[in-house]
Structure 1
C-alpha cells in the first residue's frame, strides 16, 4: 500500500471535501467559498474566479512546491475525482507542459513498479489503460470501459484552426464508440455535415470521444495553459472537472490549497538550507565546487557505512554559451575539470542541445560513475536525480528559467530520508559574482518561482562560513591569519562529554547543540564545563584571539504533558479509539434516510448551448454532467442484494463487521423502496449519491456513539495527565515546524520557539484576535517561549482529542517553573458554538487532571484576563 506524506494526504483530503461540497451545493463557486473558509485551509472565504468558457465547471488549483511530488498526488486524486463524476472507470485527460514531461509521466503511469502507477491503480483499479495521443487514436470500447488516462500536451488539442490536428479528424478506429447513442448524447457531439445540413451521425474523432465521456482533466504546471485559446480548447472537450497541479499558480487561479516548503522540509522531501558562496573568478568557483563534492562524497561513504544508504553527490555546472570573450563553454569546463582537477572523463557528462551524454544513463544506479553534469541553459524538463547536491555557475547565477530549473534539481533529498550528517541534508551553490547579496536575492527569487513563499525563500539561503573568503568548513589562504592555536570544533568539544550525554546531542546546521530529550540540571552543568562563558577582557588590555569556543546555544525539546488513558494497568495517549473501546454497533440505530438526507433528485442546474459549428460545446453543471455520465454505464440485472453488496464494498467501515453493515444497508434500501416509493432502478442509477448519503449517515451515527463514549470516559478516573514518555515534544529545528504560511505582519516576536511564526488565521485575512494574543504572550516576563501551534500536524503540533476530531489550540507557552499554558483564541461570537464547547470541555479536563502543572484558556475575543489569571495560578 502506497504511503503518502502527511501534507499530501491533507491536500488530497481538502480536494475531496471540496468535490463533496460541490456535489452537495451543485455549485462550484459556493463550494469553493465554503471550503476555503474552513479553519485549516485559508481561514477566510476566498472568491471563486470562474472561466467564462467553462461556465460553472469546478476548476481549482493545488500549489505544490518543486520536490513535493505533485505527479504522485495527481494520480492519487483520481479516486476522488472518479467519485465526483460518478464513474467507476472515468476517462482522464492528463495535460503536461512539454513532450519531455509527457514521456516521463507516461513511463511512470505505465510501469507497474513505479509509485505513479501504484497510486493510479489504488485510485482507479488495475484495469486502467494509460496511453499518449497516438495510443488514444486506437482505443477500443473495452479499454474505455476499464478506465483510460490519456497523457498529452495541450498543444495537441490547441489550434485556432482544428483541421490539421489528428485529434479532431475522422478516425475509423474509434467508430465503435459512437454506436447506439441517443439524441441527447449526439446533441453534444460534432456530427457529419451533408449538403442538406447537419446529420445525426457523430464524427468518430478523439475529441468527440472525450466530449462523449466528459473527461476528468489534470493539468500539470497549469500556469502554462491559462490563455484564452487554452480555455477555448478545454471547453471544446466538455470536461467534467479540471484540477491544476503547479508550483507557481497564476494570480487568477482558484487556489484551493497551498503546500509550503516548510511542510516539505518536515517530511524530509528537500534539502535545506542552501549554502551559498560567491567568488570573483570562474576558476575559484570550479575549485570550490570540486572541493565541496569531495567533502560530501567522503561524508556519503560514512553515511553508507552507518545506514547502508548509497549516495554519490553530483555537481551541476552551468557553463556559458559560446559568445563573448573567452567564454567558459561546456567543453572548456570539462577540460578544466580533467586538466586542473584530475577528474576522470567517465565522471563528467555534458547535457546540451548538441551533447546528450545523459541519454540512457541511470544516474541513481550504484554503478554509474558520473559526478559532474555540465549544461548551459537547463537540463531537459523532467530530469530528476536526488544525488545532485551542488550548483555551480560559471557566470553570475541570476533569476531566470535556467537557474530556476537547475536549482530545483539540487533540492530533492535522496529517498526522502533525513541523513545523520547534517551536511548531507543541505544543498550548495557557488557563483561567480562580486555581490553576494545580489546572487542570494536571485536564488531566492528562483525559489519563489518554484513554489516557495517569499519569506521562506529568503530564510533558506545561507551564507557559507566567512563568506566570501571561506570554503565550507575550510579556511581561506587568500589573507594572512593570526598565529593562534586552531579553535576546537563543537563536535570535538562534545567528545569530552560522557557517552550517555553525547548520545542525546547533535549539532544542527546553525551550529547550535540540539538535545533529543530534555536534559537534567546535572547534564546542563556538564555542558557548561565544556563550553564555559568567555572571560571578560581586562580593562586597558587588547583582547587576543581565543582558541576557546563560546558556548553554543542549547536547544531542548519543549515538552507538553498529555491526556492519557489507563488500560489494564498501562497508559496510552488519549485518542479516538478509546471513545469506542468496547466497539459500537448499528443494531438499533436509525435506518431511515429522510428526503433531506437523500433527496429524490437534485435540482437541475442551468447551462447554455454553444454552437458546435465554432468548435465549442455545452459545458454543464456538476449535476448535468453526472447525469450524462450515467448514460454510458449499464445498470441492467441489478437486485437489492447486488446493490447492497456494492454499497458495502464502497463505504469504509473498518470498525464494523460486513454482516452487520449489510443487514443495516438492506434495511435502509428496502425502506427507501417501501416507504418512499423509490424504484430499485432509480436507486441503482443514483448509486453514487446514495453511497455518499449512507456514508454521511453512518459517520454521523459513529460520531454520536463516540460522544456517548467520550462522556462516559471523561467522567471516570481512567483519564489522567502525564508527561515524560507520554509528553508531546516540540523538537528544535525549523524542519520540525511545518506550516502552510508564515506570518508577514508588522509585529516582531523574540520568544517564539522557532525562527519562523506560522500565520494567524482570521475571517478577514489579517491577524484577527490571534496577533494581539501572540504579542501578549511574547511580552510576558513569565513566558520562556511560546509556539504558534499549527493545525493538522499531528507529528509536530500539540493536540487534544475530542469526539468531533483533533483539537489544535492556537498557542502553547512554557512558563517559569516549567509550567505549560495552552490558549485557544475565539471571537466573542463563536465562543458558544457546539464544537468550541467540546474544545473547552477537553481543555478544562486536561487542566483539572494536570496537577497544577498546566492550564487551559479559551479567550472570548480580546479579553485577556483569563490568561493573566492562569499565569498567576501556575507561577505563584
Structure 2
C-alpha cells in the first residue's frame, strides 16, 4: 500500500489534539487547557465537563467526526502525540475500547497489518505492540518496558456492576512479575479483593501503567457502569471518538468537530445522496439495477482512460424471514434477481447472521469483494453490514421493508457514503450515492433519511438539506426539506368538529394548531399526501375531511415559497489571492517558508533561557514529589498531572544515557525539516552542554526530564525560525520594489465551494435576530461578539439595498472552506468577504477597541492585498461600530 497522506482536516484535528496536550502541562490542569485550546482554535472557549467519578482535572476530550471521516486513523495518529506531549514517556499503554466484536476484529486486523495506514500511524510512536484482551492477560513486563502497547477490546469485556467473574480482575500467576519491587505509593493504588488481598490481575497491571483510553463510538459507552469501568483503570486521559457526541445528559468535551462538508471537500464521502421512493418493490429493485448499470458504464469508461478499477455494488436490505408470513427476505429477493431481473447467480451474495457470503469472498479472493476477479455486484442483507464491514465499491442502497423509511436504512447508509480510495472521480455521477426505498411517500422518507444522517452519521442538521436530493423531478417537487429556505404562509381551515390530534404522529402534530374558540385548524407546515390522509382520519365528518384535503393541497402548493441562496442558484464567489514571483514563476503565497531567507541553526547562540530554567525546575519538582495542595477538607492532595508524571516515572524507569546518547535522542525527537541534521545536532549539543554546566543540572536530572528538555528545544528552534521568516516576510512583502515580487492575482483565486461551508458552530440568534437574505450560503457561521453580528446585519442590509451582491461569514482555521491572507506568524482569516455589483471584492474585518492595537499586522496584509489588486479588491477594518466606513469602501 502506498504511503497515506493526511487530509487537511485530519492534520487540523491532530494539531488540535497536540495543542490540548501541550496546554495541559502549560496551564497545569485539563479544565483550563480545554478552555484555552478551544478559544485559540475556534475563538470561543468551551466549558470543560469532567467525566463522572474521575478527577476533575484529568485530560478528557472528544473528537466529533462524521461517518467516513477516518476516526480510527485519527486515534492511531494521536498515540504518538499522547506519548510525547501528554505522558512525556517513550512508551505507554493504550486501552482501545470498541462497541462490538465485529469492530474489534476489524480494528485489530488493521492496526496489526504492517502496510496499513493505521499501523503506520501507530508506528509514529516508535516500537508498538498490538494485542487483544486474551493476549494481554499474559503480557510480560519486558513488553511493556520496551514498546507502546495497544490493547484492543470491547467495552463489554470490562463492564459490569460487579467485577466478579471477569478474568481481567482475577489474579493470574502469569502476571506476578509486574508486582515485584513496587513502592508503597504504587501498592496503595491497586484494586483489592473483598478479603483485602491485592490480586495479580490485568486490571491492576493497567492501573500501574496508567493507560490512555481511546473510546471508539463513544456515544455507545456513556452509562454509569461504563464510567465506573473506565475509572477502575486509573487512566492517564480519555479520548472519545464519535459522530454523535452527547451534548446534553453527560456532555462530552468536543475539542474538534469536523463537518460533512469538509469530508465532501476532501473527497472522503460520496454526496449528495440521490433518493427515489417507489411503492412497488419490484420496480424499486429494477430502478436500482438500472442505476447500477449506468454507473458501471461510466466506471468502465474512466477505467479505459486510466482510472482505478471500480465495480459499483448494490446493497439490498431485505425483510427478516417470518414463519407463516410472506416476506421479501433474502431468498425471495435473490430469486427475483435471478428469475425476473436476469442477474447471474454468481453476481449475488447473501450476508446475514446465517449466511456469511462476504467471509467466503474474503477467503476466495485476495481483495475480497473488491478484487477485480470477484463477480459479485449485489449484496443481500438484513442488518449484518451495520458495522465491521467496509467496501468503497458500495454505491447503491435499496430498502425493501414493507414499513421502510430513512430510519430503517440508516445503518447501511454509512457503507455507501465512503468514497473509493478517498479520491473523487472525473465523472460527477461517480461521486454521489444512491438510495432506492420502497415507499409511496417520498417527502417522509427524505426527511427521515436526513434525520438518520444527523442521528447516525453525525451530519450537521443544516448540512443535510443539501446532501439528500431527489433523483426524479416529480419527487423533487415534493421535497420541502431539500429545496432551499422555505417561507410558509399558514393555512387556516374552519371545521365543525374538533380533530383528534393526539392520535396523530408527533411529526404531524407539530404542523398543526387547533383553536377551540374559533374552531379553526391551522396548518403551520407543508403536509404530504400521506400526512394529509392521517389528519383526515382524525375527524369523523365527510365535509371536514374534504376541507382538510383542500387545505393540505394548498399547504404544499400556494402556501409555499422557496428562497434559494446565491450558492444554491449557481452563483460563484471567487477571491484573488496573493502570489509571489519566485525564480520567474508565479506561486500562491500560502506559506512563509516559501520565502528565500537565511536560516542556519548552528549560527545561533544555543543556551537555555531564564524561563527554560524555571520550567525545568517546576518539572523537576513534579517528577520528584508531585504538586501538593491542601484541599478544602485539610488533606494533602497531589494534582492529577503531577501525580501522573510521578506514577509514570515509577513505571517506566529511564535508561542511564551519556551526554552523546541523550543529544542523539533529542535530535531524533525534534522533527524540523527546515534545518539540516548537522546544524540541529550542533545546536542541541551546545544547548545541552550549557544546561549541564549550570549548578544543579546533572546528566541524570536532564535524562529524567528529557521530554521537557525536548519541548524547550523545540520552542527555541521554532522561535528562531519565526524570527528569520519574519525578517524575510517584511522585506519581501513590504520592502522597496515589492510590486515586482508580489501580486494579487486571479491566477490563484480562492473559490467558495457551494457544498463546502462547514462552520464549527452555526449562528443561533444569541446576539439578536435577523433574516439574512444575501448570505452566500444557507448556513451562517457563528459570530464572536454582538458587534460582529451587527456588522453582518449592516452587510446584509446593504446587500438587500442592492449595494452589495452577496456576502459570506468567513470561517477560521478551515482551509478549503474559507479565504485567508498569509502572515509571517500565521494566517489572517478576515470576518467577511463580499462581492460587489461590479464583480470586485470587499473584505471586512471587525475589531473592538481592545483588539485594535494587536491587529496591526492584519491591517497591513489586508491593505497590501487590496493595494496590489489593481482596483479589483478593497479592504476595510471597522472598529467601534463605525459602520459608515463600510459604505465609504463601497464608493
Same-fold call, TM cutoff 0.5: yes
Deviations 1:757-794 (A, max 9, x none): 45133158x96445325424533534334333333343
SS in 1 for 2:308: coil
Query: What's the CA shift for 1:694?
Result: 2.2
Query: Which of 111, 120, 125 is the aligned partner of 2:113?
Result: 111
- Aligned residue for 2:812, secondary structure, equals coil
Residue correspondence of structure 1 range 480-491 to structure 2 within 5 A:
none
TM-score normalised by the chain length of structure 2: 0.81
Structure-2 residue corresponding to 1:583: 599
Alignment pair present for 1:868 and 2:887: yes
Q: Is the 8 A contact 1:301 1:311 kept in 2?
A: yes
Shift of 1:276: 1.0
CA distance in 2, matches of 1:608, 1:160: 33
Give the deviation of 1:267 after TM superposition.
0.5
User: Which whole-Å CA distance do the structure 2 matches of 1:90 and 1:743 have between them?
Assistant: 41
1:388 alignment counterpart: 394
Shift of 1:374: 1.7
1:828 paired residue number: 849
- Aligned equivalents of 1:676 and 1:698: distance in 2? 24
Match runs of 1:124-273 below 5 Å = 124-125=125-126, 127-144=127-144, 145-190=146-191, 203-251=199-247, 252-273=251-272
Q: Distance in 2 between matches of 1:77 and 1:313?
A: 34
Q: Say yes or no: does 1:704 pair with 2:723.
A: yes
Q: Distance in 1 between matches of 2:693 and 2:289?
A: 79
Contact 2:383 2:411 in 1 (8 A): no
Q: What does 1:668-683 correspond to in 2, within 5 Å?
A: 668-675=687-694, 677-683=696-702
- Aligned match for 2:738, one of 701, 705, 718: 718
- 1: CA distance, partners of 2:164 / 2:781: 52
Query: Match for residue 494 of structure 1?
Result: none
Superposed CA offset, 1:64-112 (max 9, x none): 1011110111101111111111121211100011011000000001111
Moved more, 15-24 or 576-585: 576-585
Q: Name 2:581's counterpart in structure 1.
A: 566
- On the 8 A contact 1:300/1:311 being kept in 2, the answer is yes
Is 1:446 the counterpart of 2:452 in the alignment?
yes
Residue 131 of structure 1, CA deviation: 0.6
What residue in structure 1 maps to residue 99 of structure 2? 97
Question: What CA distance in whole angstroms lies between the structure 2 residues aligned with 1:65 and 1:469?
Answer: 26
1:794 aligns with 2:811: no
Tell me the distance in 2 between the aligned counterparts of 1:589 and 1:856.
41
Using the TM superposition, give the Cα deviation of residue 28 of structure 1 relative to its aligned residue in structure 2, in angstroms: 0.6
Kindly provide the CA deviation profile for residues 43-82 of structure 1, in whole angstroms up to 9, marking residues without a partner as x: 3221111123211211111011011110111101111111
Distance 1:175 1:608, change over 3 A: farther
Determine the structure 2 residue equivalent to 1:649.
668
SS at match of 1:277: strand
Matched-pair contact (CA < 8 Å) for 2:406–2:446 = no
C-alpha RMSD of matched pairs (Å): 2.8
CA contact (8 A) 1:721 1:850 kept: no
Matched, 1:761 2:778: no
User: Residue 118 of structure 1: CA displacement?
Assistant: 1.4
Mapping for residues 279-294 of structure 1, pairs under 5 Å: 279-294=278-293
Asked if 2 retains the 8 angstrom alpha-carbon contact of 1:263 and 1:739, the reply is: no
Match of 1:355 in 2: 355
Local SS of the residue matching 1:440: helix
8 Å contact kept, 1:54–1:619: no
Contact 2:91 2:652 in 1 (8 A): no
1:653-679 CA distance string (max 9 Å, x none)? 222233333333334333333345323
Structure 1 pair 644/132, CA: closer, same or farther in 2 (3 Å)? same
Cα gap change, 1:657 to 1:379, in 2 (>3 Å): closer
Matched ranges for 1:469-484 at <5 A = none
Shift of 1:245: 0.6
Displacement of 1:448? 0.5
- Matched residue of 1:343: which SS? coil
Instruction: Indicate how the Cα distance of structure 1 residues 848 and 133 shifts in structure 2: closer, same or farther if over 3 A, else same.
Output: same
Q: Tell me the CA shift for residue 828 of structure 1.
A: 3.0
Contact 1:100-1:380 at 8 Å conserved across structures: no
Match of 1:7 in 2: 9
C-alpha distance in 1 between matches for 2:638 and 2:98: 23
Deviations 1:287-315 (A, max 9, x none): 21122122222222122222332111111
Rounded Cα–Cα distance in structure 2 between residues aligned with 1:830 and 1:107: 51
Q: Give runs of aligned pairs for residues 71-82 of structure 1, distance below 5 A.
A: 71-82=72-83
Partner Cα distance (1:466, 1:661) in 2: 64
Equivalent residue, structure 2, for 1:547: none
Per-residue deviation, 1:355? 2.0
C-alpha distance in 2 between matches for 1:644 and 1:216: 28
SS at match of 1:397: coil
Matched position secondary structure for 1:209: helix
- Distance, in Å, in 2 between the alignment partners of 1:237 and 1:762 is 40
Change (3 A) 1:206 1:333: same
Distance 2:569 2:309 in 1: 32
* Structure 1 Cα separation of the partners of residues 794 and 184 of structure 2: 63
Q: Identify which of 430, 435, 439 aligns with 1:424.
A: 430
Mark the CA change 1:554 to 1:468 in structure 2 (over 3 Å): closer, same or farther: closer
Task: Mark the CA change 1:273 to 1:578 in structure 2 (over 3 Å): closer, same or farther.
Answer: closer
Contact 2:599 2:724 survives alignment (8 Å): no
Residue 28 of structure 1: aligned partner? 30
- Measure, in 2, the Cα distance between the counterparts of 1:446 and 1:160: 32
Change in CA separation of 1:224 and 1:568 when aligned onto 2, cut-off 3 Å: closer
Deviation at 1:738, TM superposition (A): 4.7
Counterpart in the other structure of 2:464: 457
Q: Describe the shift of the 1:626–1:377 C-alpha distance in structure 2 as closer, same or farther (beyond 3 A).
A: same
Shift of 1:727: 2.7
Separation (CA, whole Å) in 1 of partners of 2:439 and 2:672: 61
Structure with greater contact order relative to length (CA < 8 Å, sep ≥ 6): 1
- For 2:461 and 2:13, locate their aligned partners in 1 and report how far apart those are by CA, in whole Å: 21
For this pair of structures, how many residues does the alignment match? 769
Task: Map Cα deviations across residues 793-822 of structure 1 (whole Å, 9 max, x no partner).
Answer: 434533221111111222222324432221
Q: How much does 1:250 deviate? A: 1.2
Which residue of 1 is the match for residue 499 of structure 2?
A: none
Alignment pair present for 1:844 and 2:860: no
**CA positional deviation for 1:179:** 2.2
Question: Within 1, Cα distance between the matches of 2:149 and 2:28?
Answer: 26
- Shift of residue 864 of structure 1? 2.0
Q: Within 5 A, what are the aligned runs for 1:275-674?
A: 275-323=274-322, 326-361=326-361, 362-395=368-401, 396-400=403-407, 402-449=408-455, 450-468=457-475, 558-574=573-589, 575-579=591-595, 581-585=597-601, 587-589=603-605, 591-595=607-611, 598-602=615-619, 604-605=626-627, 621-674=640-693
CA shift in 2, pair 1:430/1:281, >3 Å: same
Which moved further from structure 2: 848-857 or 622-631? 848-857
Equivalents in 2 of 1:304, 1:7: separation in Å? 29
C-alpha contact 1:350 1:357 (8 A) present in aligned 2: yes
Whole-Å separation in 1 of the counterparts to 2:598 and 2:583 = 14
Q: Is the 8 A contact 1:447 1:457 kept in 2?
A: yes
Does residue 806 (structure 1) correspond to residue 823 (structure 2)? The answer is no
8 Å Cα contact 1:844-1:856 kept in structure 2: yes
Runs of at least 5 residues in structure 1 that lack an aligned partner in the other structure: 472-551, 610-617
Q: 1:397·1:443 contact (CA, 8 Å) conserved in 2? A: no
List runs of 5+ in structure 2 lacking aligned partners.
362-367, 479-566, 632-636
- 2:115 and 2:809 mapped to 1: Cα distance? 41
Following superposition, the deviation at residue 424 of structure 1 comes to: 1.2
Equivalent-residue separation in structure 1 for 2:710 and 2:754 (angstroms): 45
Q: Is the 8 A contact 1:57 1:619 kept in 2?
A: no
